[in-house]
Amino acid sequence: FTAALNPNLYKVLYLHWTPGSTLDLLRQLALELDLEPAHYRGDLVRQISQAIVRLNQTKKQHPILICDEAQLLCHPALEQLPLLLNFDMDSSRYLTLLL
């Protein structure tokens, strides 16, 4: 279905299953966003959030995060995914998550 999406309006971020940690998942997402991943988790989450907001506000692109084989992610990594959706106290929808 991603081939039918207008690339000027949507940026598809594809993450495949990784047996690693939450930090590994966040680093993979940062790379999908064309970022140089920060070393620390807090910095990495902030870096990712800022990139997602920039995509929406500056480039007018809505990112769609596709997590392939999400059922195989470790529990802490699964818990991190909804936190990536929190923007402006949940009043803004800057990211779509597909599992």
pTM: 0.88
In the sheet with 10-15, reading across from the earlier edge strand, the strands are 10-15, 62-67, 96-98
Alpha carbons 71 and 2: distance in angstroms, whole number: 21
Q: Hey, what's the torsion of the CAs at 20, 27, 43, 84, to 10 degrees? A: -90
Domain range for 93: 2-98
Domain containing residue 46: CATH number = 3.40.50.300
The total number of structural domains that make up the chain: 1
Written as six digits, the tokens of 12 are 């598809």
**Tens digit of pLDDT for each residue in 58-93?**
999 999 999 998 888 889 988 888 888 887 756 778
